[in-house]
Amino acid sequence: MYRRVNYLLCFLLSASLGLMLLSACTNDLKKIREISAKEVNSPADTTRGVDVIFSDSAKVKARLITPLMLEYPISKDNKEIYRKMPKGLKVIFFDKDHKESGTIVADTGYNYEARQLIFLKKNVVITSAKGDVFKSDELNWNMATHQITSNKPIDIRMANGNILHATAMETNEKFDPYVFKNQTGLIYVNRNLDQ
């Protein structure tokens, strides 16, 4: 009888120890999953004080300045990435004579290098060399086609005093000409119509 109690006691202790180990493994798996999820959402690379020059045939076309750039993988093999600029950015465009042709500033930017696209979001402001100012919440810069577009409402203050509103805009890296969709606004006309 005494021997049976010992076997029963040993069996219960072994079973409870096994359950404790099993539950400990489950908790560890949960922690591993949490850490893994954080790793997936964290940047692969962080760069501070970024100053990038874009050139074509040894001619400087644009300069991008941002205080912080975070690099994230898109594909599992890390060959395709995107870069996020969460603390704002400024892009300065240059003409063929290396003179500034305009600037774009925004609160946030996303660079998809393989697709040659930069998306600018929140408080996007374009200023042309002529002094025209465009404001929108979103802007797309296609570096392959040299086109700058926005499909969000845009406010325009021209250097001549005209104030316009549009639902979309398209221009190039020279900021000339502009194409607006559904344009409304206040346009000043020279009163001397004889000339």
**pLDDT tens track for 39-48:** 555 667 888 8
Average pLDDT over the chain, rounded to an integer:
80
Question: Is 0.85 surpassed by the pTM of this model?
Answer: no
Rounded Cα–Cα distance for residues 14 and 35 (Å): 31
Q: Which of 12-16, 28-32, 52-56 has the lowest mean pLDDT?
A: 12-16
**pLDDT (mean) for 19-38:** 58
* Residue 46 pLDDT: 83
Q: How far apart are the first and last CA of the chain?
A: 123
**pLDDT (mean) for 122-142:** 92
- Residue 94 CB-density burial (10 A; 0-12 exposed, 13-18 middle, 19+ buried): buried
**What string of H, E and C letters represents the secondary structure of the chain?**
CHHHHHHHHHHHHHHHHHHHHHHHHHHHHHHHHHHHHHHHHCCCEEEEEEEEEEEECCEEEEEEEEEEEEEEECCCCCCCEEEEECCCEEEEEECCCCCEEEEEEECEEEEEHHHCEEEEEEEEEEEECCCCEEEEEEEEEECCCCEEEECCCEEEECCCCCEEEECEEEEECCCCCCEEECCEEECCCCCCCCC
* Residue 33 pLDDT: 63
* Residue 80 pLDDT: 78
